[in-house]
Structure 1
Amino acid sequence: MPRTVALIRGVGGPTALKMPPLREVLASAGLGDVQTLQVAGNLVLDDGGRSPDEIADLVRDTVRGAFGFDLPVIVRSHAQLADTHARNPFADGSDGRWVQTVFLDAAPSAALELPAGIPEEAVLDGREVFVRYPAGIGGSKLQAGWFEKRLGVTGTARNANTVAKLIAMSA
């Protein structure tokens, strides 16, 4: 049975979470066999019949209670994640590190307008923004926070390699 993916925004630095304790507290909260990918807030879990909003709230509340960090959580089903990857116009590029999907908590009402003269390409499609960084991500102005401010929604970014791994883990 396919599983659900929860993406915690802002894991790292002062809000770093150790993955074994995170898995334990989420499993204790009723999310079944919780798996993590990397140390960046990528979770694959059993939804237990809960809606995506219920899962997001449960993960956020559990992280806040156990670790003291109030971090947004964005949830996608396996099918939604696979569909997102299929819709990404840049996903077939040779280097998935330089292609990101910014997962949004809601479809924005604003249009996406990129600054002139930048090397990046970005496409808004529903609740995702697909971004290609031909010159690398580190020096780009188009980070997840940039999209959040302009679109008025919360988002978290994952590169195409990570998205592909999460699809495989949640199958």
Structure 2
Amino acid sequence: MPRTVALIRGVGGPTALKMPALREVLASAGVGEVETLQVAGNVVLDAAGRASGDIAQAIRDAVRGAFGFDLPVVVRTHAQLVDTVIRNPWADAAEGRWVQTVFLDGRPASVALALPDGILEEAVLDGREVFVRYPEGIGGSKLQAGWFEKQLGVVGTARNANTIAKLIAMSA
């Protein structure tokens, strides 16, 4: 049975979480058996019939209670992750780490996305995701997840195509 993926935004630096501790905290909070990928807040779990919003809130509450960090959580099912790859116009790009999907916690009020002049990056808003291609790398780009949050008025967290492929495999 396919599993669900929770993406915790902002894991790292001053809000770094040890993945073994995170797995233990989430299991204790009743989220169930979880797997993590990397140290970036990628959690794969069995939804057990729970709504995505309930899962996100349970994880957010558990992280705040155990670690003291109030980090937003965006949840997608396995099928929804597969669908993002299908809809991503740059899914076949040779350099998967330079293609990102910004997963939004809701539909933005505006469907228009005005990119700054003079940038090389390309971005497409499609539903609750923004697909971004960084032809010269992500590091120096202005188009980070926070930029999209400000433009669209919703919370988002980004994952590159390589990470999404791994999460799809783990949640299958």
3-state DSSP of counterpart to 1:14: helix
SS in 2 for 1:31: coil
Q: Deviations over 1:88-114 (max 9, x none)?
A: 101100010100000000111121111
**Residue aligning to 1:103:** 103
1:100-155 deviations in Å (ceiling 9; x for gaps): 00000011112111112210000000000000000110000000000000000000
Q: Which digits, 9 at most, give the CA deviation of each residue in 1:59-114, with x for residues without a partner?
A: 00000001100000000000011101111101100010100000000111121111
**Unaligned stretches of 5+ in structure 2?**
none
**Match of 2:114, as an amino acid?**
E
Q: Which residue of 1 aligns with 2:16?
A: 16
| TM-score calculated relative to the size of structure 1 | 0.98
Aligned amino acid, residue 84 of structure 2: T
* Alignment length (residue pairs): 171
- Aligned residue for 2:146? 145
Calculate the aligned-residue CA RMSD, in Å. Answer: 0.6
| Identity across matched positions, percent | 80
Q: Does 1:42 align with 2:45?
A: no
For residues 22 and 150 of structure 1, what CA distance do their matches in structure 2 show? 31
1:129 is matched with 130
Q: CA deviation at 1:49?
A: 1.5
Q: Tell me which stretches of 4 or more aligned residues in structure 1 moved more than 2 Å.
A: none
Q: Distance in 1 between matches of 2:19 and 2:115?
A: 36
Q: How does 1:42-81 map to 2 (within 5 A)?
A: 42-81=42-81
Contact 1:124-1:130 within 8 A present in 2 as well:
yes
Tell me the distance in 1 between the aligned counterparts of 2:48 and 2:67: 23
